[in-house]
Each structure stands twice: as C-alpha cells, then as structure tokens.
Amino acid sequence: MNTSTTLSSSPQITIGDQAMTPQPLAHTTEPAASSTPSAISLRPRPRLGLGATLIGEEEKALVLDVLQRQALNRYQGGTMAAQLEEEFREVIGTRFALAVTSGTVALEVALAALGIGPGDEVIITAWGWVACFTAVVRLGALPVLAEIDDTFCLAPGEITRLANERTKAVAIVHYQGVAAAMQPLLDEAAAVGIKVIEDCAQSLGVLYHGQRVGSMGDIGTYSLQHSKTLTSGEGGMVVMNDPILYERAVRMHDLGLLRPYHEKLVERQVPAFSGSQFRMNELTAAVALAQLRKLDRLREHCRNLQQIVMSSIRDLPGLAFRHIPDPQGDTGFEVYLQLPTPAIAEAFRTRLDALNVNCHQTTGTYCHYAREYCQTGLAHTSTASPFTQFPQWPAPGYRQEDFPRTEALIHRFVALPLSALYTEEDAHYIGACIRHVHSQVMA
C-alpha cells in the first residue's frame, strides 16, 4: 500500500478497489505565526474519518442494485441484508449474524436474547458511550458500573468484585479499536456464572490472539453509525453461536416473529414473545456490505500509520502508551499518550492542536457517572427507572468518588485519532510534533 506521498500534493491512497484523494479540512483558526514553533513547518490539518471517507463506487453499485430491483425490505424480495449477515459471520467467525437498525438496538437485542429484565443487574464499565448504559435501563435492568484499567476497558477483578445473585451478565466494551483483556475476564464471568456480551461498537475488525472480538463471549454487538470503523449511516449487527440466542434475537428484532428465512437456519425452539421492529432495510444493508469488504485493508492502512507514530516517540521519557493486551490485534485507529499529570496532558493537547495535529484530551465526557441521566437516575417514566429502588440518588457506586482508578487515568491521556485519509508523511509529521511538544512541555 503506497501512502508515502505528501498531503499538500493531493496524494491518492487505495483501499478496497478505489483510489481516494485526501482533502484537508478548512482551518477554523489559523495559529498566529508567533505561536508556531520555528522547528516545525506547519502542515494543513488533515481530514479525519474511517469507513465514511471511503464511500465510493462499490456502495453506489449495491445501492443502485436495490433500487433497480425495487426491493427495499429484506423479507419482500431483498437480498442485501441476508448477504451482509452471511459475510459478516464469516469475517467474525460465528455461526450466526443478525442485521439491525443501530448499535444501541444491537445491545438491546442482545440483552433481550439473554433474557435480561427487571430485577437483573448487568456489569458495564464506568467509562464508555451512553448506549451501553441506556440499553440496560431500557430493558428494566440495573447497570452496575465497574472500573477500567489502562486498556480503557474493563479491569480484571471487577466482575468478581461486583457480581451477586442478581447479576445476569457483563458487557465488555472493546474501547476505540483495542480488545479488552478477554481471557481473565471470561474466566471471571465463568467463575461467577454470568453471560458475556461483547460490545464491539468501536472495534469492528479487532483481534484478540487471533480471534475477532465479538466471537468469544455469548453474544457480540457492533455499530455501523457514521463515525464508526465501517458505516451505513446508522445500523448494527449482533453475532452469536447459540441457535437459541439467535432465535430469541430474531424474534426481538422482528415483532416476535420467526420468518421462513430464519427457520432455514435454526430449528424453531423458542415460544413467540412480543418483540420490537429493529429490521435493517436493504439500502442500509447495501452500504454496509460494500463497507465490510474494505475492513482488512482499512485496518492494515491505519496500523501502518500507528506504528510510524509510535516508533518515532517510543524513546521519550515520561510518555507512555495505552496498554494493548494484544498489540497484533489492534486496529491502529488511534494513538493514546499517557502523561504524568492532567495539566501536562492539557498542555500537550493544546500545543499539538496549534500544530494542526488532530487530538483530544480524554475527559469525563465518556464517564457514565458524569452524565445527566446517571446523575438524575431517570428513565422515560419514573416507574421504568431501575434506580427508584434507592432511597437517595446518586447512590454509592454511581458517584465520581466511587471510581478512583478510572478518574486517575482518564485526565492524564491525550488521544490522537488516525484516519483512512492520512498518509505516511502525515504520520511522520505527527511524530515530529509530539517530539517537539515533549521538548517544550517536559524539558
């Protein structure tokens, strides 16, 4: 893969079967000349994006095929959703895959397939996107917040600490392109007798010692939202090996029905129950299918960029990387830098941003305990909230001071996202900027 040309000369990179020309974003505020270090020749800020930036002729062809056949529903002449499911399960390595309307819905379908409901508890990380928390609440169960470690994923030991007779499952979030330390977590879950959901919304394509994330637990979920690895605008996938879980998931996503297509895949074993309508339409499936076929080349491209950045700064004192349990399985979509203090992390972020390096400081934004819905304990009605059982709110286990390990981590990291449109020269520039800022901030 040739990515060595400069951004300023509008290079083309090839991912899948198409050539893409990176276009720099318009500057919001050009740094003043006096604020630009003389040792760095300022480059334009490159455009961020993963699968969305690669939408091209493949997606157009499949969407046009759907329109020409006038078959927009998978159960009324459509073929794209079924083809997506077939290729997706082959990529992940599971027996079944089910296409749904979003990553949030995928979590709700997974929880329902496992029989999670009122009175149950589900362990999730205190740090993560809103969907994991709200999906548990929507099913009437209680999300129990757990600490993260320097993987930014669930810390080993937390399942054992938090599990009780009401705990039915743990949702292990593979955060931002890195697999959690799955083996110790799977061992803990088995020891306490609970089910494992792998939330892979941000980590499609990640491997853990040769296995795709989503294939190791009882059930796995993915998001195809616009900012994710691959996208169809909105969309989600659910994977599993157990035919009963598959049938329950199918019924949950399609009004409790088991249509002939799915009956060809599993023997009917589950009594009908009231489900919802979370079926993916054929246009969405067409885009998702074209995107799926670009997954491994996208991952290869970003891993190459990540290695360039990391190898150029590995020797810098006082700088550490996010811990990656399986470095060979990482997607390479981000570089996380750990700094000695929050103040130094913020100084790093500010100076890198002035050099047009896309970066952000990890903050409380992704902490459930810092969000309004957790601070209020509300659901769509008071009677639907699992938190009404507590005499006062926030109760212990939902307050900032209850998560010292998470708090100690998140304010000392700076995250540098990488892009499908970055070139090798962009990666070398990022490394040079980090070295320059390090010499200023940590001299």
Is 110 a domain residue? yes
To the nearest 10 degrees (0 to 180), the angle between helices 282-292 and 80-92 is 30
How far is CA 16 from its chain centroid? 22
Q: Which of 250-264, 288-302, 353-367 has the lowest mean pLDDT?
A: 353-367
Interval 28-43 mean pLDDT: 54
d(CA 231, CA 291): 7
Backbone angles phi and psi of 17, in degrees to 5: -110, 15
Is 341 a domain residue? no
297-308 burial, b at 16+ Cβ within 10 Å, e below that, comes to: bbbebbbbbbeb
Is 97 a domain residue? yes
Pairing of strands 219-223, 195-199: parallel
Write out pLDDT tens, residues 370-416. Answer: 898 888 889 999 889 999 989 888 999 999 999 999 999 999 999 99
Give me the number of domains the chain comprises: 1
CB 297 within 8 A of CB 1: yes
Residues 6+ apart with CB under 8 A from 234: 101, 102, 224, 225, 226, 284
Residues 6+ apart with CB under 8 A from 2: 13, 14
Residues comprising the chain, all counted: 443
Backbone angles phi and psi of 105, in degrees to 5: -60, -40
pLDDT bucket at 40, cuts 50 / 70 / 90: confident
Backbone angles phi and psi of 56, in degrees to 5: -155, -140
- For 205, the 3-state DSSP assignment is coil
pLDDT(36) > 60: no
H-assigned helices in 208-281: 243-253, 260-263
**pLDDT for the residue numbered 364:** 67
268-296 burial, b at 16+ Cβ within 10 Å, e below that, comes to: eebeeeebbebbbbbbbbbbbbbbbebbe
**pLDDT for the residue numbered 25:** 31
Interval 362-371 mean pLDDT: 83
Interval 65-70 mean pLDDT: 98
CB 289 within 8 A of CB 280: no
Backbone angles phi and psi of 175, in degrees to 5: -85, 125
Cis preceding-peptide flag for 394 (omega within 30 of 0): yes
Enclosing domain of residue 226: 57-293
Q: What CATH number is given to the structural domain containing 87? A: 3.40.640.10
Answer with the residue of higher pLDDT: 23 or 187.
187
User: What's the pTM?
Assistant: 0.90
Q: Which amino acid is at 341?
A: T
d(CA 355, CA 358): 9
- What integer best gives the mean pLDDT of the chain? 91
pLDDT(52) > 60: yes
What kind and span of H or E run contains 190?
A: helix 182-192
Write out pLDDT tens, residues 146-171. Answer: 999 999 999 999 999 999 999 999 99
| Full 3-state SS string of 10-21 | CCCEEECCEEEC
Is 119 a domain residue? yes
Write out pLDDT tens, residues 279-308. Answer: 999 999 999 999 999 999 999 999 999 999
Backbone angles phi and psi of 344, in degrees to 5: -70, -40
Please give the share of the chain, as a percent, with pLDDT higher than 90: 85
**pLDDT for the residue numbered 2:** 38
pLDDT bucket at 342, cuts 50 / 70 / 90: very high
pLDDT bucket at 350, cuts 50 / 70 / 90: very high
pLDDT(19) > 50: no
Interval 51-65 mean pLDDT: 98
Calculate the dihedral angle through the C-alpha atoms of 25, 31, 35, 40, rounding to the nearest 10 degrees.
30
CB 202 within 8 A of CB 175: yes
Is 88 a domain residue? yes
Q: Which amino acid is at 242?
A: D
Q: Which of 20-29, 154-163, 205-214, 336-345 has the lowest mean pLDDT?
A: 20-29
CB 290 within 8 A of CB 226: no
Q: How far is CA 230 from CA 233, 290, 293, 355, in A?
A: 9, 9, 10, 29
d(CA 262, CA 171): 26
Is 420 a domain residue? no
pLDDT(6) > 60: no
Is 217 a domain residue? yes
To the nearest 10 degrees (0 to 180), the angle between helices 130-138 and 103-113 is 40
Is 47 a domain residue? no
d(CA 330, CA 332): 6
CB 198 within 8 A of CB 217: yes
d(CA 200, CA 175): 8
pLDDT(4) > 50: no
pLDDT bucket at 18, cuts 50 / 70 / 90: very low
382-409 burial, b at 16+ Cβ within 10 Å, e below that, comes to: eeebbbeeeeeebeebbeeebbeebbeb
